[in-house]
Each structure stands twice: as C-alpha cells, then as structure tokens.
Amino acid sequence: MPYRLRPRQPAPKNEAQKNLERPSAQDIYEQVANNARQELGRSSVALAISGLAGGIFMGLSGLGNAIAIALLTAPGTEPTNTTLFIAKMFYPLGFIVVILGRSQLFTENTLYPVALVLSEKKHLWKTLRLWGIVLPANVLGALAFAAIAGLTGALHPNMVHALSQLGLEALHHPTATIFWSGVMGGWIIATVAWLVSGSHSITGSVMIIWMLAFVVGLGNFAHCIAASGEILTAVLVGQASLTSFLHWLWLAVAGNICGGVGMVTLLEYGQVVYGGDAEAEALPPEPDSPISVTKQS
C-alpha cells in the first residue's frame, strides 16, 4: 500500500494548545521520517565523527554503572543485588547524552532510516551506507573510551575492575542468550527513539530515555555499543580476548537489528499505514455531550 508523507504544515497560531495535544501515530511516524532525511543527507565524514562521539559518550553507561558498584561494594566481596539495582540507575546516562545530543547511535538508526525506506525504497542504499559508517565508528568510539578508562590511570583500579567485570559477564552468556537479549535491547531502544520523536519537551524525553534504558540495563539485555566499552576494557586489561568480543559483537548487532527493525519499525509502520491511522479521522462528539456543550459555550 503506497504511503506519502504529508507536506510540512505551518505552525499553528496557538502553539501552546498544539503542545498540549497528544501526537497521533502518523505524526510520530512523519517526524521519524523527517529525522531520517536529515541523517541520510549528512556527509560520510559528518556521520563518522558523530558516530565516533556517540561511541565515546555511550561509555558513560558502563562508567556510571562501574563507579556505583565500586563505591558500594566492599573490597574482596561480590556486589549484592541491591548494589546492582542502584548501579543500573546510572546505565541510562550514555543514552541520554547521545540521544539528546543528536550523536549517531547505531541502534537508533534501526528505526529512523528504515521507517523512511518502507515508504521510499530509493533510500535503501543510503541507509546501508549510514549503517556501514556509524557502526564501525561507534565501536571505535567505544574502544577509545575503553583505552582511556582502562589504560591511563584515570579511574581507580576498583572501578576499572568493576567495568571489566561487567564486560566479562556480557561475554559469558550462551550464544542464543546474547542474540535474543539483543533482540530485546534493540526493540526497547528503537522504542525510545520512536517515543522521543513524539515528545514535546526535553524533560519528557529524558524521562522516556531513562525509564526504558534502565530496563535494558536491569535486564542485562545486549546492546552492541553500550556493552562494547565494558568488554573492550576487559580486552585491554588482559581479561578477555578480542576474538570473544568479535563473536559477541556480531550476535548483539544481529539481535539489535532484528529487534529494532522487526519489532518497532515494521509494527509502527503497519499501525500508521496498514492499520489505517493515516486515514482515520476522529468521530465528532454527540450534540448533547459535555464536550460539545463546552465548545459551543
């Protein structure tokens, strides 16, 4: 079923009233598609630099997590469930900085450009170009973060140990667990991107990102960039091999793509286009309803 994005409409005179309205699925979809146009129009150099920054900033998720664990765990003991729960509250930091700062994050791009490709197939190769640039740049940024955290003495040894332990825990899951937890992680983060596109305020966006990213951290769902900084720290300090990281990475990437594309983009596109949201119109209120009486008065 063909679908054309609506042309941009001029801002309404009563902008305050506009901001009070709940956006429809079509409104969100069109904002997502417009975001995709902007990203696909960026040069390869701009995408690479933004992706590198995104990979470095995502290190804040593991960093906040590791600092909390190191501070709340007595030397020579294992962190308790309460400590881990508190530490996971800092996991959304990297996502907040990257998403609000508009740095490139690979898992966000399983939503934006794919949603546009579903309407305009001609953007497929541009989407593959974006993925081919952003993913390696994100991983390189995660490596830069890991090098600073693990090799420079910037962090206390207890914090470096906690950070590398997080990476080792991610590596030690079975193959199927890594993939399917990646599906869950990709689904949740793509959902974040969808909801942020419909948010009217920075505060609302922060709350959306924090709550859903907290679930990703709490469930230990694989995220190909957030956990890369942790695992690469373990690699650089000699506690894990590069081969094990690469094995984990392709499974996490595959899971994140399946989760982001399959469980969000296709479902939301189907809701808007095949579900009839684009053509649906609100039913008028009954003449004697309180809403109708209020409008007449």
Query: What is the tens place of the pLDDT at every residue in 16-25?
Result: 444 557 777 7
Cβ neighbours of residue 285 closer than 8 Å, sequence gap 6 or more: 291, 292, 295
For the cut 50, the answer to whether the pLDDT of residue 293 exceeds it is no
Residue 38 is predicted with a pLDDT of 84
Tokens coding 79: 């962190």
Residue 120 binned pLDDT confidence (cut-offs 50, 70, 90):
confident
Q: Is residue 230 within 8 Å of 167, Cβ to Cβ?
A: yes
Q: What's residue 17's pLDDT?
A: 45
Q: Both tokens of residue 18?
A: 């506009």
Half-sphere exposure of 292 (CA within 13 A, CB side): 7
Contact 126, 75 (CB under 8 A): no
pTM of the model: 0.83
**Residue 57 confidence (pLDDT) above 90:** yes
Q: Is 70 exceeded by the pLDDT of residue 164?
A: yes
Tens digits of per-residue pLDDT, 242-253?
A: 999 999 999 999
Query: How much is the pLDDT for 271?
Result: 74
Q: Which two tokens stand for residue 120?
A: 């305009």
Mean pLDDT value across the chain: 86
- Ramachandran angles phi, psi of 277, nearest 5°: -65, -30
**Residue 211: count of CB within 10 angstroms of its CB:** 12
What pLDDT does residue 20 have? Answer: 52
Average pLDDT estimate for 253-259: 94
User: pLDDT (tens digit, 9 = 90+) per residue, 73-98?
Assistant: 998 899 999 999 999 999 999 999 99
Q: What's the number of CA atoms in the CB half-sphere (13 Å) around residue 91?
A: 26
Taking the C-alpha atoms of residue 31 and residue 170, their distance in angstroms, rounded to an integer, is 34
List domains and CATH numbers for the chain: 23-280 (1.20.1080.10)
Angle subtended by helix axes 202-218 and 175-197, to nearest 10:
170
- What pLDDT score was predicted for residue 22? 75
Q: Is the pLDDT of residue 131 over 50?
A: yes
Helix crossing, 202-218 with 59-72: angle to 10°? 60
User: What is the pLDDT at residue 16?
Assistant: 44
Contact (CB, 8 A) for 223 and 256: yes
**What whole-number distance in Å separates Cα of residue 159 and Cα of residue 236?**
15
Nearest to 261 by CA among 135, 50, 41, 110: 110
Are 182 and 252 a contacting pair, CB within 8 Å? Answer: yes
The average pLDDT across 156-172 equals 95
Alpha-carbon gap, residue 256 to 253, rounded angstroms: 5
Residue 282 has pLDDT above 60, yes or no: no
Residue type (1 letter), 71: L
What local confidence, expressed as pLDDT, does residue 168 receive?
Answer: 96
Number of Cβ within 10 Å of residue 296's Cβ equals 7
The structure tokens listed for 193 are 């991107």
